[in-house]
Chain A
């Protein structure tokens, strides 16, 4: 038995566009899955796993669509398991280690507050497959946003310790949030009506943050700079080890089933 080697993907603009969102969903879904058996309560353990599975389902649908558009004979598993870190196109924020519960919740909130209006806009995509995926995903992410927002409010407006951890998570994550609005080489996708211009979603994102952070008594940090690189495959040191764990089984035992 020989280990599976990495594939090469023909990244047409549309395939790249879809891979970026599929990688977002898979990477965040994996980080959420790491909480399984470790969450602060049994209820939240299931809640985090539920959200992780929502992300995994979104990733599968997007990978399937990317694979069919690419036409290179790759399937969803190949796209997920047989690409190296440098071929991943996800947002850096989503690959950061899960951290403590506050870090996981604040990340989920920052991301869902963007993805909620994004998926809603995607239901009008000129790509009917993407529009169909969006119709399912927008309901899932709407709940992610509500769940994360309620937790942000309670952590921020909770004990001194929970407030400190929530504020610390917000301070650490905000410099990564700007990457959600940076979409290199996607102007043609916007022009074709395939996706919204992310800048049009900024007012909704800002409003969600202002509302929830005020209730949470958290201070939105000034972010004079924005970290980026994930969309073009330049990642933090955290993605490689995560992929090594995630991909070890399908790479070591190609085609394994159970």
Chain B
């Protein structure tokens, strides 16, 4: 008997209000509802999250590892892009 492979979903968790959803891992599930439950069961057992996203893995377009040098290495010499040359006034607080 042949079965279609169960689709793969990427799981994103937001751990606190005001933070962004972060990638946590992946689950197999037949559909979005079950993927959300699997994500809850597998990735939020220790109080990790307040909100969950699941995204079909095949909906993600990824950069080609072979392009790594072209895409990412030119930035290494451009340290002036880091916002570390400014003094943040104390009143601004956490940025």
On whether the two chains bind one another, the answer is yes
Assess whether B34 is in contact with A50, with CB atoms less than 8 Å apart. no
Question: Mask for A141-169, Cβ within 8 A of B = 1, else 0?
Answer: 00100110010001000000000000000
Docked complex Cα distance between A44 and B28 (Å):
10
Assess whether B33 is in contact with A43, with CB atoms less than 8 Å apart. no
Number of A residues contacting the other chain (C-beta, 8 Å)? Answer: 12
A143 contacts which chain B residues (CB < 8 A)?
A: 40
A150 contacts which chain B residues (CB < 8 A)?
A: 33-34, 37
Docked complex Cα distance between A122 and B26 (Å):
37
Number of B residues contacting the other chain (C-beta, 8 Å)? Answer: 14
DSSP majority for the A interface?
Answer: helix
Nearest Cβ in chain A — how far from B54, in angstroms?
12
Assess whether B30 is in contact with A154, with CB atoms less than 8 Å apart. yes
Docked complex Cα distance between A43 and B28 (Å):
7
Docked complex Cα distance between A154 and B27 (Å):
18
Contact of B34 among A42, A46, A154 (CB under 8 A): A154
Question: Mask for B31-43, Cβ within 8 A of A = 1, else 0?
Answer: 1011001101110
Q: A residues engaging B (CB < 8 A)?
A: 41-44, 46-47, 50, 143, 146-147, 150, 154
Residue of A nearest to B9 (CB): A43
A50-B30 contact given A43-B38, A147-B37, A150-B37, CB 8 Å threshold: no
Assess whether A50 is in contact with B6, with CB atoms less than 8 Å apart. no
Assess whether B45 is in contact with A47, with CB atoms less than 8 Å apart. no
Nearest Cβ in chain B — how far from A216, in angstroms?
14
Docked complex Cα distance between A47 and B34 (Å):
11
